[in-house]
Structure formats: C-alpha cells, structure tokens
C-alpha cells in the first residue's frame, strides 16, 4: 500500500480512536531506562514473538535465561508507544518499560535530615512536601562533572572536604587580582555548598547537584561587598570560560547601569545561563535590586519550609520563580573545618537551588543525547515544572504573581519535562488532535520525523508506535 493510500486510510480511522486516546492520561511517573523495553513471549510463541520484533527493526540486547524476558532496544521516546503496540499482539504476553528503582538515594551526610529544602518531612514545624523533590530528582540524575557553574561571590573555602574534587582550576579573584579566590567572608562557601556539597561522604550536608564542577570567581570582599567594576569583570571572565554553562549571581543591590547591563548581555551572548537573586528587601525589591532585576537573568525569590514567601524576599514584576531560601543548612565556612553546618536565609540561597536544578537539567540533556537548553529553553522547563499555588492563597494566585513568580521550583517535575515524548509530535507541550494531524502530514510527505522506529522506512509500524504513544500520553 502506498504512503498516500495508507495516509487516507489512517485519516479515516484516527477519528474513532482519538477521543478515547485523549482521555488516557499518563499516570506513569516511574523512571525508566530510555530506549529500552522488556518483552516476554507467550509459552510456545517465542519464534512468532521474535518475528514481531524483527519486522519492526527492534534489537534484542539481552535475554534472561530463567524467565525468557528480553531487553529490547527501541528509539528513545518510543518506549511507551512500542510497549503498547507489542502488548496487543497475541504472541506476546507483555511488553513494558524497563523501570528504574533504587536502594534509596537519600544521602548519608550528617545533617541531611535538617535539609528541608531537599526533603521536607514536616521537620521543625514545616509542611511535608514543601521542597524541591530532590530524592525523586536524584533517581533521574545526580549531575555531571562536565557541567560547570561559575559562582560569582566572596570565593570558596577550597580546602573544605565538601568541595574535594569539585573545583575547576580556572577560578579567579577580582578583588585581589590573583588566581586564588579564597573565601574571606563565608557567603560564597554557603552558596556553593547549597549547589554542590559532596554527598554520601558521611560529613556535613549534601548539595543538590552531586557532580557538577564549580568555577569560583571572587567579586565580593571580606565585608561581603563588591563593586560594579569587579562584578562586570567576573561576568566577562565567566563568559569567556568554555567550562562554564551557568552563572550563579547570589548578589543584591547593585545598580542597573550600563556597565552591569553590558556585562550581563555579554554573558548571555556567550550562551551562559544567568540565575540571580530577587532581593532581600521585601515588597517591590525584585524590580530594583540588580543583577536580579535585569530581564537578562532568571530572578529567584525565597520561600520558607511551609511554602510561604520568606518575609524579606523581593517581590515585583521582575520576579520569575521562587525556591526554598529560609533556614537552609549548608557548608560551614568556619575555621578550623569540622563536621558541622551553617544555617542561612535569603534569596542568596534560593538562587543556588535554581542553579543546581539547571545543572541537573543540562546533565540529563546530555544523558539523553539532546541539545543542552539555553536560557530561554530552560525558562520554559522551569515553567513546566514549577509548583504553582503552594504559598499563601492571597499571594500565590494562579499563574504568575509578583510574590511567587510562576511558582516554587520542583527538580523532579522539571527533569521529567525534558524526557522525550513522541506523542507530543508538534512539540507544543500538549497531546491533542493537532499532534495526530502533524504526524499524519509528516507521514504523507515522507518526512523522516515520522520514522519513529528508526528503520529508514515509513510504514504501518511507525503509525502503530505513534498511536500507541498517543493513547498513553506524556509523563
């Protein structure tokens, strides 16, 4: 049958299944191995089942000799659709996702139990679940050393064991103009600890990203103050570093002058993601406290362990999102180094949570062989994964508001948003009839996008995969 005739036939039958398919929702939040499914043949039908796999161009990677279950390779994004198609065949007992579990990814760090921003159990009077869902996010990825975050701050306690193996060699001190960005205040160490404190070392605390590389850039002095000139130097330097993907700006009260704007724009032009603090002076402060007030940054406010806005968190039109930022346990900058922690509050500590989520997203994109999102794409992922209306009803209204922005960031939901889903064929984040139209049009035009099983041919198997995926929906 020609593709044109098949297209006409399919167009005639699609309407009868779309209504049912649209009502199917994906309740499957379980993590699974991309590009794999598990298939078991019915007794006595092993040859026929194998033929079904072969004709669809599917490769059996491994067979369990005891159960006969096959680990089958499928195109990334087609896992649910292919499993649905195969499970309908008489020769196949079942086809399902190769799910991922774990022995539990709660780290063993001494003070992890009080890090409510990672896992809020209601400890110390908090609201259970008012967190970034870190443990579920770690089931998906714990980060990658190939992702670099420049922390423009007061420097870093480089000898601290919480940063062992995590610091790049190209850090710089623009306050003292040398290559030793040692922290003589503490703020930079606290901020960096929220992002990247080594986890599972039975010491102190856990960062949200367990693997990223930190490029410490000192722009604040021992009084935790800095000049526009030094900050601009730091931004320009970070923009020129190939190992920097994200720039964390836990900084407030700078002027939004030309020097600042040009440096921020230069970093954006270099492809860096800029995440900044929304201010610590309450109502309206997000609009006047730079660099976070600049539209060139993603501006982050702070919430409490009960999902309320932290009282001093900056609000305003410039605010984009919020993240936990009150009573955050992080790495202590005290000397000598001991197994302890510091507890700090402010948008300075909500901002690195957002930066760490961004670095996890970039790492996961690499794992999925996707292009890493730029700042605009990351913003959309944050938007897709933010928890809205979790704060006080008078402030956290539906959609964007000046108190919580688009909502409190949720690492698990944001990471789920980048998982490929072929059911959303037109990429508009909705699974609806327009996706069916787009797929059928691509199929009729012999568009390679419609070759869902990657066998180089457009045929009924591709249609089966799409319709199966469409019926299941996206996670």
Kindly indicate the confidence band of residue 15, based on its pLDDT and cuts at 50, 70 and 90.
Answer: very low
Residue 106 maps to a domain: no
pLDDT of 475: 64
Task: Tell whether the model's pLDDT for residue 78 goes beyond 70.
Answer: yes
CA-based nearest residue to 440, from 419, 428, 458? 458
187 is catalytic: yes
Task: Tell whether the model's pLDDT for residue 3 goes beyond 90.
Answer: no
pLDDT of 103: 52
Overall average pLDDT of the 211-220 stretch: 99
pLDDT digits (tens, 9 = 90+) for 383-418: 989 999 999 999 999 999 999 999 999 999 999 888
> Does residue 291 contact residue 362 with C-beta atoms inside 8 Å?
no
Same domain, 224 and 312: yes
Domain, as residue range, for 165:
112-417
Overall average pLDDT of the 202-214 stretch: 98
In terms of DSSP bridges, do strands 342-344 and 328-330 run parallel, antiparallel, or are they unpaired? antiparallel
Residue 107 maps to a domain: no
pLDDT of 20: 36
Overall average pLDDT of the 76-96 stretch: 92
pLDDT of 370: 86
Same domain, 196 and 305: yes
Lowest-confidence segment of 171-180, 205-214, 425-434 by average pLDDT: 425-434
Task: Tell whether the model's pLDDT for residue 449 goes beyond 70.
Answer: yes
CA-based nearest residue to 322, from 281, 353, 283, 296? 353
Same domain, 128 and 61: no
Question: Can you tell me the distance from the alpha carbon of 136 to that of 133, in angstroms, rounded to the nearest whole number?
Answer: 6
Same domain, 411 and 263: yes
Overall average pLDDT of the 38-56 stretch: 94
On average, the pLDDT of the chain sits at 90
348 is catalytic: yes
Same domain, 377 and 438: no
Alpha helices in 142-186 (DSSP H): none
Task: Tell whether the model's pLDDT for residue 274 goes beyond 70.
Answer: yes
pLDDT of 30: 59
Residue 309 maps to a domain: yes
pTM of the model: 0.78
Same domain, 150 and 289: yes
Task: Indicate which residue of 84, 153, 387, 435 is catalytic.
Answer: 153
Same domain, 52 and 144: no
Task: Tell whether the model's pLDDT for residue 180 goes beyond 90.
Answer: yes
Question: Can you tell me the distance from the alpha carbon of 425 to that of 434, in angstroms, rounded to the nearest whole number?
Answer: 8
pLDDT of 128: 96
Question: How many structural domains are present in the chain?
Answer: 2
Task: Indicate which residue of 160, 185, 187, 404 is catalytic.
Answer: 187
pLDDT digits (tens, 9 = 90+) for 119-156: 999 999 999 999 999 999 998 999 999 999 999 999 99
Task: Tell whether the model's pLDDT for residue 7 goes beyond 60.
Answer: no
For 358, 402, 470, the CA distances from 379, given in Å and listed in that order, are 9, 17, 26
Question: Can you tell me the distance from the alpha carbon of 465 to that of 453, in angstroms, rounded to the nearest whole number?
Answer: 8
pLDDT of 8: 46
Task: Indicate which residue of 144, 294, 332, 348 is catalytic.
Answer: 348
Same domain, 155 and 199: yes
462 is catalytic: no
pLDDT of 28: 40
User: What are the strands of the beta sheet with 172-173, ordered from one edge?
Assistant: 172-173, 213-218, 148-153, 246-249, 273-277, 298-303, 321-324, 408-409, 386-387
pLDDT digits (tens, 9 = 90+) for 370-387: 899 999 999 999 998 999
Same domain, 59 and 135: no
pLDDT digits (tens, 9 = 90+) for 31-44: 688 889 999 999 99
């Amino acid at each position: 049958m020609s593709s044109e005739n098949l297209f006409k036939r399919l167009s005639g039958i699609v309407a009868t299944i779309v209504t049912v398919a649209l009502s199917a929702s994906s309740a499957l939040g379980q993590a699974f191995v991309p590009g794999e499914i598990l298939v078991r043949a019915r007794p006595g039908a092993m040859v026929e089942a194998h033929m079904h796999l072969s004709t669809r161009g599917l490769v059996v990677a491994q067979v369990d000799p005891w159960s006969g279950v096959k680990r089958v390779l499928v195109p990334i994004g087609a896992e649910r659709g292919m499993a649905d198609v195969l499970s309908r065949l008489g020769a196949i007992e079942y086809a399902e996702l190769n799910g991922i579990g774990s022995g539990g990814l709660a780290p063993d760090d001494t003070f992890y139990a009080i890090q409510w921003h990672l896992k809020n159990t209601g400890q110390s009077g908090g609201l259970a679940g008012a967190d970034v869902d870190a443990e579920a996010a770690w089931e998906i990825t714990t980060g990658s050393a190939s992702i670099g975050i420049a922390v423009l701050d007061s420097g870093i306690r480089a000898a601290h064991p919480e940063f062992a193996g995590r610091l790049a060699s190209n850090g710089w001190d623009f306050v003292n103009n040398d290559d030793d960005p040692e922290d003589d205040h503490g703020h930079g160490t606290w901020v960096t600890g929220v992002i990247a404190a080594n986890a599972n070392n039975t010491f102190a605390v856990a960062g949200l990203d367990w693997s990223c590389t930190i490029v410490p850039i000192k722009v604040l002095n021992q009084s935790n103050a800095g000049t526009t000139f030094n900050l601009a130097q730091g931004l320009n330097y970070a923009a020129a570093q190939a190992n920097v993907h994200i720039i964390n700006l836990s900084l407030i009260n700078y002027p939004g002058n030309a020097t600042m704007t040009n440096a921020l724009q230069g970093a954006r032009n270099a492809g860096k993601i800029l995440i900044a603090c929304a201010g610590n002076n309450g109502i309206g402060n997000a609009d006047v406290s730079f660099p976070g007030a600049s539209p060139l940054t993603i501006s982050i406010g702070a919430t409490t362990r009960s999902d309320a806005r932290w009282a001093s968190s900056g609000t305003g039109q410039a605010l984009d999102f919020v993240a936990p930022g009150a009573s955050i346990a992080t790495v202590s900058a005290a000397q000598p180094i001991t197994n302890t922690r510091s507890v700090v509050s402010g948008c300075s500590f909500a901002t690195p949570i957002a930066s760490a989520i961004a670095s996890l997203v970039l790492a996961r994109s690499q794992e999925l062989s996707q292009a890493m999102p730029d700042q605009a794409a990351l913003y959309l992922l944050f938007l897709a994964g933010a928890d809205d209306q979790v704060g006080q009803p008078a402030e956290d209204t539906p959609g964007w508001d000046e108190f919580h922005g688009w909502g409190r960031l949720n690492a698990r939901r944001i990471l789920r948003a980048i998982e490929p889903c072929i059911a959303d064929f037109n990429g508009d984040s909705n699974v609806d009839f327009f996706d069916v139209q787009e797929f059928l049009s691509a199929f009729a035009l012999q568009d390679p996008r419609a070759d869902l099983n990657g066998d180089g041919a457009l045929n009924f198997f591709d249609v089966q995969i799409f319709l199966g995926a469409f019926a299941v929906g996206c996670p």
